[in-house]
Structure 1
């Protein structure tokens, strides 16, 4: 099966293109900062599983690096000492934080794992986001990160992989269209009856992760 490339605003039926899909891996990637001695791009991947009121029903459904619980990983990740955040219904395993964008080695920088069969029935959509971690919260406490925005970050993308087969189903490359924004709603999974679809959002904001938290909590 060939992968589909989406543009901003386009929607894609996962159920039609991958019948029987239960577990999806959503990978995100970007190029590290190659400026000599420049500050790292520390992008944080997060997800907000929201109900009909466009809010998370509990803190568990805000999935980000600060919600890590040990042992919630696939086997090879446990062996390497990694851990992931997880929702109360065990439907979403969050990303393992990559603080400088250099772990990927040509693959996804961070990924999340979704078991769509376990998503609580009250959850209507899952917003998948990326935000730039800035001073003083960044790993290296580099004050230069305060000026970073997504207009500086090259080749940002999100893609959905069938976890069972390893096949890429759909991909969305974020156009380099931002000037000052440091948080992006990349895409969303949403219910249509008993099926799931994906929309490429590309909606940007200022205020980094806190802006997204304020929107959905």
Structure 2
């Protein structure tokens, strides 16, 4: 049975799923119902999931950002499975696969973020989004290891730091973060880790 996490909680993946190598990181969200307007068509909310690969807790270069414009890390350790432009439908809206054994030793964290594409131009925020979650699935058996359902008031936030994989020695942990930000672009989000 999957572990349900709260904001700030951490679990050991090495203990919960011994021998874990390939982990599917699924992120999902739903758009709140749009208010009807005769005068303008409201744009769909395009949330984008990304992963930042950190060395000594720092993002060293743009090659270490995996997102819809760079679907695979050069090491082959992290892959983005494609961009969902609307968040419509059930289940995961975007997925990333992390192969822990392929990740070069100098990387100690993989940060998972979601930002709203063109949030300021479209006047959108996470107040327009509901049912946000991140979950980790062991690809050996398709079993969910843990899930973090994000709750709280993020009305003024245009991006979110959702969670992170962290390596300490030979052990991997997942940390549920759920920190909203007002970063207007993926580039602004990356500056937090430089």
CA shift at 1:88, angstroms? 1.3
Match of 1:20 in 2: 19
Q: Which runs of 5+ in 2 are unaligned?
A: none
Give the Cα–Cα distance (whole angstroms) in 1 for the partners of residues 22 and 76 of structure 2. 12
Matched, 1:119 2:96: no
- Aligned 8 A contact 2:72 2:78 in 1: yes
Q: Normalising by structure 1, what TM-score?
A: 0.82
Q: Normalising by structure 2, what TM-score?
A: 0.91
Write out aligned runs for 1:87-106 (5 A): 87-102=73-88, 105-106=89-90
Matched, 1:49 2:26: no
2:45 is paired with a residue whose SS is coil
Give the aligned length. 188
Q: Which has the higher strand share?
A: 2
- Aligned 8 A contact 2:157 2:180 in 1: yes
Match of 1:131 in 2: 115
Give the Cα–Cα distance (whole angstroms) in 2 for the partners of residues 109 and 62 of structure 1. 19
Deviation per CA, 1:53-111, whole angstroms, max 9, x where unpaired? x32233221111111xxxxxxxxxxxxxxxxx111111000241001112xx3120100
2:90 is paired with a residue whose SS is coil
- Aligned 8 A contact 2:5 2:176 in 1: yes
- Aligned 8 A contact 1:184 1:204 in 2: yes
Give the Cα–Cα distance (whole angstroms) in 2 for the partners of residues 114 and 171 of structure 1. 16
- Aligned 8 A contact 1:46 1:95 in 2: no
- Aligned 8 A contact 2:28 2:132 in 1: yes
- Aligned 8 A contact 1:157 1:171 in 2: yes
